[in-house]
Amino acid sequence: MIRIDDLQYKGLRIYQDTEEFCFGTDAVLLANFVRAKKDERVIDLCSGTGIIALLVQARCACKLTAVELQEQMAHLCQRSVELNGLQDEVTVQCRDIREMGFGVEAGSADAVTCNPPYKQPEGSLAREKESIRIARQEITCTLEDSISAAARLLRFGGKLYMVHQSQRIMDIIAHMRAYSLEPKRIQLVQPRANKGANLVLIEAMRGGKPGLIWEPTLVLANEDGSYTKELKEIYHIQ
């Protein structure tokens, strides 16, 4: 079923299909983590229905390209762009990111955002709908695929913003450095104060020098399950 969700930020709304992969808190956290400047060119890889593209454009007033492999998701992304009247600011492309960043596209982006599939292929999830498996598992896009694509697309000094499972942090850093992307800012995310981190937000600079800032750990919920002050600010909840 197709529904329209209110993002509760600057009047933004988004189309989602309840039978397909829907965005989660990780996408909202990544959009908030981005530090793009006005009129910079930003490319959002693995866009899904466009949640990160919409929020980043609204926050940063940048020119944004949303890239999604699955046709039905890209179609909903385009509908969301039109619903919000952002056709002049956000362009949607249905493409395989593994083919991006060559020729005239190389070095064309000031920033790249990416919320890639987290899970390595698992036989236990084989019964899931194929489109959901593609969104969740590294079937058509591995961690290295997303990082290498970003590296090709970024100009020297451009930045990659990524969210992923915290348990993959060493793999992420290893791949980033292999493609001349130097981690510059990291923030761990904990579901509660008494729980270990399950997500990590990373900013890396193409051609950057070593030097890393650890942001304060972001805790999402209080002991009673209510949102923390920090998460309420991200979600614009009064």
Q: Helix H segments across the chain?
A: 25-33, 51-60, 71-83, 130-136, 143-153, 169-178, 229-235
Model confidence pLDDT, tens digit, residues 85-137: 999 999 999 999 999 999 999 999 999 999 999 988 776 555 678 999 889 89
The predicted structure's pLDDT at residue 178: 98
Least confident of 89-93, 213-217, 233-237: 233-237
Domain map of the chain by residue range?
2-235
pLDDT band, residue 184 (cuts 50/70/90): very high
Model confidence pLDDT, tens digit, residues 139-163: 999 999 999 999 999 999 999 999 9
The predicted structure's pLDDT at residue 123: 60
The predicted structure's pLDDT at residue 128: 78
Instruction: Report the alpha-carbon distance of residue 106 to residue 126 in Å, rounded.
Output: 36
Instruction: Report the alpha-carbon distance of residue 221 to residue 197 in Å, rounded.
Output: 12
The token pair that represents 213 in the structure block: 């800032």
- Per-residue DSSP letter, 100: -
CATH code of domain 2-235: 3.40.50.150
User: pTM for this structure?
Assistant: 0.96
Question: Is the predicted pLDDT of residue 23 greater than 70, yes or no?
Answer: yes
The predicted structure's pLDDT at residue 4: 97
Q: What angle do CA 211, 216, 217 make, to 5 degrees?
A: 115
